[in-house]
Amino acid sequence: MIKTEEENDNFLEVVEELLSRSYLTAEEDALLELLVKLIEDFEDKHYKINVSTPLSRLLHLMEAQSLGQNDLVETLG
């Protein structure tokens, strides 16, 4: 398991190096697959993307454009 950001960075470098090769042995391919899974698990746990809803997206866009509810009445009815 990857436990630190430093470990994650180190494994990312190994993955990049493996991906740059034109040929991988069976062992290297298995290592690449394992490292990618470990990196995905670490990043899923530590870099959660904010989940948004249609309403939250609409409110964000309205705020970004300085729009209020009245501005949408003509469009949405």
Question: What string of pLDDT tens digits covers the 77 residues of the chain?
Answer: 999 999 999 999 999 999 999 999 999 999 999 999 999 999 988 887 777 888 888 888 889 988 888 888 877 77
pLDDT score, position 74: 78
- Domains in the chain, number: 1
CB-based contact 6:43 (threshold 8 Å):
no
pLDDT score, position 76: 79
CB-based contact 15:32 (threshold 8 Å):
yes
Q: Structure pTM?
A: 0.62
Q: What does the block give as tokens for 50? A: 């904010």
pLDDT score, position 48: 72
pLDDT score, position 19: 95
Task: Please give the residue range of the domain that contains residue 32.
Answer: 5-76
What 3-state DSSP class applies to 54?
helix
Amino acid symbol at 71: D
Looking from the CA of 76 toward its CB, the CA atoms found within 13 Å total 7
**In the block, which residue shows the tokens 């009815």?**
77
